[in-house]
Amino acid sequence: MLDTLRMFFHGFAVLMTFETVIAILIGCIMGIILGAMPGIGALAGISLLLPLTYMFSPITAIALLGAIYYGNMFGGAYSAILLNIPGDGPALMTTLDGYPLTIQGKSGKALLTSNFSSAIGGTIGMIILVFFAPALARLGLKFGPAEMTGLLLLAMTSISWLVGDSPIKGLVSCLLGILVATIGIDVVSGDIRYHFGNMYLFGGIPFVPLVIGFVGFSTVIAMVSETKTHMVTGAKISMRESMPTKHEWKRLLPPAIRSGILGTFVGIVPGCGAQTAVFLGYAMQKKFFKSEVPLGTGAIEGIAAAESADNAASAGSFAPLLGFGIPGSSVGAVLLGGLMMWGLNPGPLLFSTNPDFAWGTIASLFIAGIFALGCGLLVMPWLRKILSVPMNILIPVVTTVCIVGSFSTSRSMYGVIIMLAAGVVGYVFNKFEYPTTPFMLAFILSPMLETSLRRSLLISRGSLAIFFGTPISTVFILLFIAILLTPIVRSAIKKIKQNSKTA
């Protein structure tokens, strides 16, 4: 415990350079602005800003990405409160109470409740993260290739099956992501495969242009048919009048703390993510606790529960990311891909082989939390202008960033072509309601899964019994099979029920 705390404070010492502190500050501001803009959101925001990290050291780069992520979560709530449009998925529950407060002329109150609750939830999440991430890493050190295979299969399928209404679509997306990742160099033998005679494919599909296109440019394509300019209604936001009173602090603190704890543990489970945490946090407040006004009519308890759970889950999702190398969400998947660009492999060995980086990352989240709160308060007076940027101006601006960013990371037009193709595929996926998260997660985790799977089979000389050789791997594989079978069983039960009704 003392050693953990010592290393945690060492993480702060690692970060204390002018470059890193400025990067965190810029990341928070950019994150808040991009998160607040309707239609862009955290994932697209981080993807668009990935090229900026190329000139930094790995610690500064991940601190910047973490700050963008953190800022995005603060910003995501702003458009939810002021425009009734969630900036990202988890902010959906914030609209339920945030927008009614805006209609009542209390938008400032809602925004500050959101800011403070986010900070409380995030801090709770990070405190738990400090102790959980190294513990998970210690557990991960006991994993052999069979256990890692089971864990990776579990991580990939849990996201696929949870996202969207159709599990089959999630699985298609996941399998396509794996196949695209196999193009280029074979991670085990170093041989080249699936290049189709194209020399650019020798090196595989570059990660950054793929993500920029799949998430960022696909968003732009969709934005073209949505050129409505959003206008913020209500009176000008006054910081002094909006500050929570003592009574309001008493209302917001308990749900924020409860949701913070719940959200962190939900975030730690790979595949659950912030959206599940927010839903559970809000539902917990609604079912088990009293609120001064009913939830859904402008209760600050509702905003506190949702926003705290969102930030806590996001901090919690760093535990499996750093400890096992498995992202808990789509944004985590992009962050993992970002880390891999610098040759860093998050996982059980990270805390022992690269403690500066592991603890620096955790410490950077704390600093980002404080900066995001400060920046959130500072940005508030300009929110109306930020939210009112016309879509038809955003479209060419974001497209330019997509083109130039893709080129700069690949240093060739190949990156731009990949971005364009990925954008079209991402747009088609969204149109036909195929979840994009499993694709990205599978693309990033695929090399690790292939390595573990092939190593396991090599050790066992092709016998599948190796996956049932230890209790941990047996549990993982059984869970994987259960997740795989759940939709089939569910649909069979549904059919039996329907048949018995008609009979």
Partner 1 sequence: MRYKFNSNLIVPAASVLLGILFAGIGISSWGLWDPVTGPTRGMYPSLIALALILVGIIDFVKAFKGSAPVFERKNWLIVLAVLAVVLFSYLIGLLASVGIFLLLWLKIAAKQSWKTTFIVMLVVGAIVFGVFVFWLQSPFEEGMLFRLIRG
The Cα 350–Cα 340 span in angstroms is: 12
In contact, 282 and 233? CB cutoff 8 Å: no
Residue among 138 and 431 whose Cβ is closer to partner 1? 431
Q: How many residues does the chain have?
A: 503
**Two structure tokens written together for 385:** 């202008």
> Residue 184 pairs with which residues in a beta bridge?
193
Cα 412 to its chain centre, rounded Å, is 29
- Does residue 182 interact with partner 1 by CB under 8 A? yes
**How many positions of this chain bind partner 1 (CB under 8 A)?**
63
Q: Which of 22, 378, 404, 482 binds partner 1 (CB under 8 A)?
A: 404
Residue among 171 and 387 whose Cβ is closer to partner 1? 171
**Contacts with 306 (C-beta within 8 Å, 6 or more apart), sequence order:** 90, 91, 93, 94, 96, 97, 117, 259, 278, 281, 282
Cβ of residue 434: shortest distance to partner 1, in angstroms? Answer: 6
At 351, is the secondary structure helix, strand, or coil?
Answer: helix
Which range binds partner 1 by CB under 8 A, 32-40, 325-333, 338-346, 445-453?
Answer: 445-453
Binding residues among 370-399 for partner 1 as defined by CB under 8 A: 390, 392-393, 395-397, 399
Which range binds partner 1 by CB under 8 A, 68-76, 115-123, 167-175, 316-324?
Answer: 167-175
**Contacts with 123 (C-beta within 8 Å, 6 or more apart), sequence order:** 260, 366, 369
- Does residue 458 interact with partner 1 by CB under 8 A? yes
At 135, is the secondary structure helix, strand, or coil?
Answer: helix
- Does residue 288 interact with partner 1 by CB under 8 A? no
Cβ of residue 419: shortest distance to partner 1, in angstroms? Answer: 8
Phi, psi torsion values for 98, nearest 5 degrees: -70, -50
Nearest Cα neighbor of 354 from 57, 131, 146 is 57
Q: Which of 57, 354, 408, 474 binds partner 1 (CB under 8 A)?
A: 408
Q: Which of 243, 341, 349, 417 binds partner 1 (CB under 8 A)?
A: 417
Q: Which of 9, 22, 54, 492 binds partner 1 (CB under 8 A)?
A: 54
Cβ of residue 32: shortest distance to partner 1, in angstroms? Answer: 18
Q: How far is CA 501 from CA 370, 493, 494, 496, 497, in A?
A: 57, 12, 11, 9, 6
Cβ of residue 479: shortest distance to partner 1, in angstroms? Answer: 18
Residue 484 zone, left/alpha/beta (φ > 0; ψ -120 to 50; rest): alpha
Q: Which residues bind partner 1 (CB under 8 A)?
A: 51-52, 54-55, 166, 168-169, 171-172, 175-176, 178-179, 182, 186, 188-189, 191, 193-194, 217, 220-222, 224-225, 390, 392-393, 395-397, 399-405, 407-408, 411-413, 416-417, 420, 423-424, 427-429, 431-432, 434, 449-450, 453-454, 457-458, 461-462
